[in-house]
Amino acid sequence: METLYSTTLASPVGPLFLAASDKGLVALEFDARLPGQQTIRPNPRDLRSESDALSFQNSGTRMSSYTCELEEYFTGNRRKFSFPLDLRGTPFQLECWHALLEIPYGETRTYADIARAVGRPQGFRAVGMANNRNPIAIVVPCHRVIASDGSLCGYGGGLDIKRKLLQLEGALSGTLAA
């Protein structure tokens, strides 16, 4: 059984659940999730044994480097995260998530841009599904991905949080900021 260290961080976009392995951050989840959205956290009402592979140890001390950098991000004093990530997904998801990590702070890309970046120019829907499965919100910046027409669409934390994150980064034009 693998032990993940975890904590919950109060943030301007609501409570954030963080979990890390010895290799790096495994999950950053919004406390309020949309119906059907995946989570790494065990559900105490779920009697299935699928959570047997993971155990969680609440440790603010072990998670302090992650929480410190996130707090700096939310105060506008950090544009890039320096802590290690332990991304877990399919090869295609990993390709997409690494492409997201290349989007600079304060900029956006379209799903089609990401599809081209991973060598699948017609795969914008598959990119959208990979974004939907992104286990490390904010740090792996799927909030920086917008529709080809420039509108905000699809975000695990909800469009209001996506808008707030893009406003924090100065990435919204006047029409999208409203």
The β-bridge partners of 146 are 110
* Residue-wise DSSP of 113-176: HHHHHTT-TT-HHHHHHHHHT-SBTTTS-GGGEE-TTS-----TT-HHHHHHHHHHTT---HHH
HSE-up of residue 37 (Cα within 13 Å, Cβ side): 18
The residues annotated with a catalytic role in the active site are: 142
Tokens matching residue 165? 């994150």
